[in-house]
Structure 1
Amino acid sequence: MSACFKKGTRTTPLAYITKCRILKSKQMLLSHPARPIHQVALSSGYPTASYFNKVFMEMEGITPSDFRKKYGYEGGAS
C-alpha cells in the first residue's frame, strides 16, 4: 500500500498524515486563539505538546506559539 500511495502522491503516507495534521493545527491556532497549545496538539493527533512543538518547528520553521503571534489577529476576534 505504501508504495502505491507514494507512486500516486509522490509522498509517503506518514509525510502526508503529518502535513494534514500540521495544516489542521495551523487552522486551529488561528481560529481559536485562546485554546492552549497542548489542546491544539491533542486535537491534531499529537500525544504531547513537546512532540507537537518539535514536529511543527521542523515543518514550519517556527514554534506554534510564534506562528500564532505572527499570523494571528492581535486584539481578539474581528
Structure 2
Amino acid sequence: MKGRYFKLLIIVLIILIPVFYFGVINTKVSLKYETNNPGDCVSYVTGVNLCKDIEQMKILIITDIVLIVLLMLSRKKIVRD
C-alpha cells in the first residue's frame, strides 16, 4: 500500500469517530422524545430498539479506535514507499 493511501485510510477512520458520536447523540435525542417512559428503548414512531442502536454505535467507535491504533503500530509493515 502506498503511503498516501494509508494516510487517506487513517484520515477517513478519524473522521468516522465524530460521525459515530453524532449518531449516538442523535439516537439519545430520539430515545428521549420517541419513547413513553424513560426506561423504554423501543421508539413508538419507528419501532426501532434505540438502546441497541446506541450500543452498536459505541462498539463502532471502539472498533474504529482500535483499528487506527493497530494500523499505526503496523505502519512500517503495511506501507511501501
Which has the larger Rg? 2
TM bin (shorter chain): 0.3 to 0.5
Bigger relative CO (Cα 8 Å, ≥ 6 apart): 2
Q: What TM-score do the two structures reach when normalised by structure 2?
A: 0.35
